[in-house]
Amino acid sequence: MERPGSNPTVARLDEVLRATGARLSLTATAHASSIDETLIARSLRMSPAERLAAFETAHREIEELRALMPDAG
């Protein structure tokens, strides 16, 4: 169990815990995505040319913002 590369099964983990007087309990909970899926959907509705144009616009705007920032050094 403790050696590098060990990959115990859930059954094995339960077995080890039972030996200590405990029992393994697993639950599943919903996970809120940190990804805005509406942005992905919007991008997928765009043609490749539209996606490229949007990327170029974003890149240009980032470069403009960078030019406004004082040097970090």
One pLDDT digit (tens) per residue for the chain, 73 residues: 788 888 999 999 999 999 999 999 999 998 888 889 899 999 999 999 999 999 999 999 999 999 999 875 4
* R_g of the chain computed on alpha carbons: 25
Q: What is the pLDDT of residue 2?
A: 81
Q: Does 10 fall in a domain?
A: no
Q: Which residue range is the domain that position 45 belongs to?
A: 35-73
Q: Does 28 fall in a domain?
A: no
Q: Does 20 fall in a domain?
A: no
Number of domains the chain contains: 1
d(CA 23, CA 10): 11
Contact yes or no for 26/17 (Cβ under 8 A): no
Q: What is the pLDDT of residue 72?
A: 54
Q: Is the pTM of this model over 0.75?
A: no
d(CA 40, CA 67): 29
Report the greatest alpha carbon distance in the chain.
63
Sign, CA torsion 63/60/34/8: negative
